[in-house]
Amino acid sequence: MEAYAMVEHIRLSPFKTRLVADLVRGKRLEQAIAILESLPNRPAVAIRTVLLSAAANAENNFKMSRDALYVSKILIDGQGGVKRVSPRGMGRADVIRKPLSRIYICVAEKEEA
């Protein structure tokens, strides 16, 4: 059984967010939270929030044990972005693209073997 949480339209670069997501993929819940709290990167705050939400969903909706949870799947997708216009010389304009991301985190219980 898996529980998930997702956030869309967050103003973070997907490339930089994936670098942080690779550090916690496959880790136990408490270990992943400790890693994210020690990182100075902006995506670490957003990923930690979504991870805690997924853990709460698993605990409250599916009655999973918080001690046995691990990050089974974490996906970071780009969502196009927001376009802004910056004026340039001689009446021209440049387009500034500000990226958007979607964060999807799935947690599952570790099977004891």
Q: Is 27 helix (H, G, I), strand (E, B) or coil?
A: coil
CB 20 within 8 A of CB 71: no
Domains of the chain: 2-109 (3.90.470.10)
Question: What is the overall mean pLDDT for the chain?
Answer: 95
pLDDT, tens only, 11-57: 999 999 999 999 999 999 999 999 999 999 999 999 999 999 999 99
Sorting pLDDT into bands at 50, 70 and 90, what band is 111? confident
Structure confidence at residue 113 (pLDDT): 53
Cα-to-chain-centroid distance, residue 53: 11
- Whether pLDDT at 110 is above 90: no
The CA distance from 43 to 35, in Å, is: 12
The residue whose two tokens read 């993929």 is 25
Place of tokens 């136990």: 28
Q: What is the mean pLDDT of residues 64-69?
A: 93
Beta strands in the chain (DSSP E): 2-10, 69-78, 82-87, 93-98, 101-109
